Amino acid sequence: MEDFFTEVAGGFLYGAVGIILLVVGFLLIDLLTPGKLGHQIIHDRNRSAGIIAAAGLIAVGGIVTTAIASADGSLGEGLAETAGYGGVGVLMLGLAFGVIDLITPGKLGDFVVGEGEQPAAWMTAAALLSVGAIVAAAIS
């Protein structure tokens, strides 16, 4: 029965690390886009902002899932690996956004959250998902 409680506690802790990384990922995307991302999604109903945020969260979720599944050693070591790989993944997503911004004309964040349907949002979402998959594969 003691193993059961240890495993439940471990599941809770891994889940907490994952949620924290999702929040950090969202905050990074918010930082990289003009205005408040949550306001644009909820109040302005900006579809492009929603696409970018969703892609970032899916990418972070994939990275964290792979990190948890690949974790070995003690609970503390596994949590540290998950947090470390997840942190690297979030940083890589920010880097991908920055690189796309450099190679496309204008300011990407302005286009992504602009009025109407923004093709740049789809391109950015694809890049975020691709980077998430690459980092997840690198972990496994």
Residue-wise pLDDT for 81-103, tens only, equals 999 989 998 898 888 888 887 88
The answer to whether the predicted template modeling score (pTM) of the entire model surpasses 0.75 is yes
User: What is the C-alpha to C-alpha distance for residues 68 and 91, in angstroms, rounded to an integer?
Assistant: 18
For residue 58, what pLDDT is reported? 95
User: What is the C-alpha to C-alpha distance for residues 86 and 64, in angstroms, rounded to an integer?
Assistant: 6
Query: Using the 8-state DSSP alphabet, how is residue 73 labeled?
Result: S
Angle between helices 47-70 and 119-139 (to 10 degrees): 0
Structure confidence by residue, pLDDT tens digits, 46-86: 888 899 899 999 999 999 999 888 888 888 999 999 999 89
User: What is the C-alpha to C-alpha distance for residues 61 and 85, in angstroms, rounded to an integer?
Assistant: 12
How many helices and strands, by DSSP H and E, does the chain display?
6, 0
